[in-house]
Chains A and B, each alone.
Chain A
């Protein structure tokens, strides 16, 4: 892999630089471009000493607990045969993996079939973030310039970042292999566990290598991560399309490759080699591309923009909208797609859930005329939680502007503090409402089509809109924190996290109602399964208004934090 030469060369380099500091770059070109890699590698590990273990452990524990819960749910051969039959539908295969796993559906292959594609995405995100954080983000903040002016080779940053990604992915792979093999579950054998773990390692390294290219293209870490994540998304979409339709489409996707190890069924090792070769090629391309650009610059030249500000931009609200529009557009597309995805399997929901006794009982408890309606009610919470992620990000924006020193010039104009905060709040609240509406439209349209029940469309859109007041409470909380405890604004993340755990998982895992009462989502009427009820929505709206007002009072009284 790309990092291996760096690790070996690096030892030699460090020695050379120490003993012969006057060595000419021409004579030791190969070594000098990697000078300092080891130091940067250790420095990166030091910086990520919390971040990486959290990522790795979360992925490890997530997998282990899933294996154990799958073992409980599908303990008998009868249940495994049932679920295999359920999965054998376009919706089932699109959300999991290729059909061949169903031929021997033991606990190991159930895990691999249902989890591998999904965890590959998460491992990919971890790897992309490692690379962009330790390469492009360093350049963007000008820290790289300072470091590169020392005895640090041209390729040292990228080599060190790739080495960190390799180490993180290897650690995850080995942990998974050991952990799963140690569970002693029938069907989860040692060889399969090792292959399953190393499949994660390979796909993680591949996406790290993809990021090694994207960080060369744009000058901004966010853009580079976004581009690499788009590749992850495309890889996932290709495998989903291929697994449902033509198998060759899946062969265009590295996620498809690792799924075709048919781990716990056939245990094929060679697809991993394919992934690693592709990774090496991408990493090599990254190294070559990096020599074609200046430090701090991207391959793509920065675009020029308008020399004047339009009337729309220069109003407080128009300006806030401008700052939020990228995020809003991204989430809008995502919400719509997510809605469509859930809607398209709504028709199959009945078959999928039938036979999973526990799930059936739980859905029955929610109420609703049929399984589709109960299932839709649970999906609504997922959609609302996703929209609330945007709302929190929008609510944190004033604080981000303040800490970056950009609020200072604005608030020394005739723009009052109230109007400034309110313009961001309004964009966040209306934006959140638009998002949940889009998710509802996608879910409603696709749901109506897949169930063949046209009346479902309006009911699902209405059910989605009922979550708007809960989203307003979410931004209200962010504003209140901003006014009174600006350093603690990130606490607003509690709403989506708590909402997901308590209102979504808790619904399935039967948490006591009192926990759900603490979440704004817990008070939203569970449409379409239950009846509409206005009072809780009015109370939520009033709470939202109160929180915003409280935040404004607090912000009016405090010092603006300046650099």
Chain B
């Protein structure tokens, strides 16, 4: 597989703030790549460097085989961007803004444009200043998807959309993926990335702290087990990789490291399992693994974070 985006050792400072601090990122051609991190982690800065809107201090970035700063215009014909905070021209209608952005990119598929406008339930005759945040977002999404781009850079594209539109968005992205498009989807909405992304990179303080498929990542983390056994389960605490054990007669609750899951379930079996519920780690827990210290610093003590 070829790489749509390769980034190595990217740094970018704004005055005293270090927005990117040696960031590495690989996005394969044809995949939906989730780009996760809280506000201020450097997601938007990374995407703007990939667009050639910002120039990195050090490090290299390649987008579709080109240099995003030097070849900005040629690359922009092949990619489309949805900013996190869409600002429109107050006097232009949504339809005009869509056509403007799409034509400047190099052409628009009229049929697809009208189809998208209908699916997103957007009124293209309203002026930019009367659109809500969600509607401005829709304008940018339609403009990006109506043109025939190979690569979609989406910076928290659904921040203002309602749940119904969120579903439409997921359909549209799934369809784009089926057409062979590459998508870099930045978000702090974990459920969305979970549904769409093939691989995920987690960014923190301008660095990628973890990257891989969701199953790979889950393997690295703990599964929560809740079980009811015929006889009280004993000796669980002696097993390797067990955390937060709570027992209550026949009920037992604990978290276990991915690699020791097998041992723990076998031991439980010895006591006669009546019911067993296992929770794979959610993306929240994946994130908290990396952000737990920050949350604690802010006065929040979470189980997963403390673990």
Contact = CB atoms under 8 A, between A and B. Distances in A.
Q: Name the interface size band of chain A.
A: 35 or more
A307 to B, nearest CB: 4
A369 to B, nearest CB: 48
Nearest to A407: B53
Contact of B93 (A305, A326, A404): A305
A412 B102 CA distance: 11
Interface string A216-237: 0001100000000000000000
A405 B85 contact: yes
Interface stretch (A25-33, A312-320, A491-499): A312-320
Contacts of A302: 126-127, 129-130
Interface stretch (B76-84, B160-168, B255-263, B266-274): B76-84
B48 interface: yes
Contact of A306 (B77, B95, B143): B95
A415 B88 CA distance: 17
A549 B97 CA distance: 29
Interface stretch (B103-111, B209-217, B287-295): B103-111
A308 B94 CA distance: 8
Interface stretch (A16-24, A66-74, A458-466, A555-563): A555-563
A313 B101 contact: no
Contacts of B85: 405, 563
A199 to B, nearest CB: 38
A313 to B, nearest CB: 6
A300 interface: no
Contact of B99 (A305, A313, A417): A313
Given A411-B53, A560-B53, A405 B83 contact: yes
A58 interface: no
A562 B87 CA distance: 11
B23 interface: no
A34 B89 CA distance: 35
A323 interface: yes
B251 interface: no
A562 B44 contact: yes
A117 to B, nearest CB: 34
Contacts of A410: 101, 104
B93 A304 contact: yes
Interface string B99-141: 1110111100000000000000000111101100000000010
Contact of B105 (A405, A406, A413, A559): A413
Contact of B73 (A406, A414, A563): A414
A182 to B, nearest CB: 48
Nearest to A557: B55
Contacts of B200: none
A416 interface: yes
Nearest to A405: B87
Interface in A269-315: 302-309, 313-314
Contact of B125 (A219, A305, A417): A305
B54 interface: yes
A314 B74 CA distance: 19
B104 A306 contact: no
Contacts of B98: 309
Given A304-B93, A408-B53, A313 B100 contact: yes
B127 A409 contact: no
B88 to A, nearest CB: 7
B41 interface: no
Nearest to B85: A563
Interface in A400-449: 404-406, 408-417
Contacts of A303: 127
Nearest to A323: B89
A558 B90 CA distance: 27
A411 to B, nearest CB: 6
A310 to B, nearest CB: 8
A559 B44 CA distance: 14
A100 interface: no
B72 interface: yes
A307 B98 CA distance: 9
B96 interface: yes
B196 interface: no
B124 A308 contact: yes
B86 interface: yes
A79 interface: no
Contacts of B286: none
B47 to A, nearest CB: 9
A411 B68 CA distance: 12
B197 interface: no
B87 A404 contact: yes
A51 interface: no
Contacts of B88: 406
B101 A560 contact: no
A136 to B, nearest CB: 13
Interface in A31-72: none
B93 A306 contact: yes
B51 interface: yes
B86 A409 contact: yes
A413 B44 CA distance: 17
A309 B95 CA distance: 6
Contact of A220 (B103, B129, B143, B153): B129
A268 B106 CA distance: 70
A126 B175 CA distance: 56
Contacts of A412: 51, 53, 76, 79, 81, 83, 153
Contacts of A143: none
Contacts of A323: 89, 91
Contacts of A405: 83, 85, 87
Nearest to B56: A559
Contacts of A408: 48, 53, 83, 87
B101 A413 contact: yes
B98 to A, nearest CB: 7
B54 A305 contact: no
A305 B123 CA distance: 10
A414 B104 CA distance: 6
Interface string A73-89: 00000000000000000
A304 B106 CA distance: 27
Given A313-B99, A406-B88, A413-B105, A562 B73 contact: no
A322 interface: yes
A462 to B, nearest CB: 36
B227 interface: no
Contact of B126 (A304, A406, A411): A304
B265 interface: no
B172 interface: no
B77 A414 contact: yes
Contacts of B48: 408, 560, 562
Interface of A: 219-220, 302-309, 313-314, 316, 319, 322-323, 326, 404-406, 408-417, 557-560, 562-563
A-B pairs, top 10 by smallest CB distance, nearest first, are A309-B99, A305-B93, A307-B95, A309-B96, A413-B104, A405-B87, A307-B124, A314-B103, A304-B125, A412-B81
15 contacts: A302-B126, A302-B130, A304-B93, A305-B92, A306-B96, A307-B93, A309-B100, A314-B104, A326-B91, A405-B87, A406-B88, A409-B86, A412-B51, A559-B55, A563-B87
Interface of B: 44, 48, 51, 53-55, 72-74, 76-77, 79, 81, 83, 85-93, 95-101, 103-106, 124-127, 129-130, 140, 143, 153
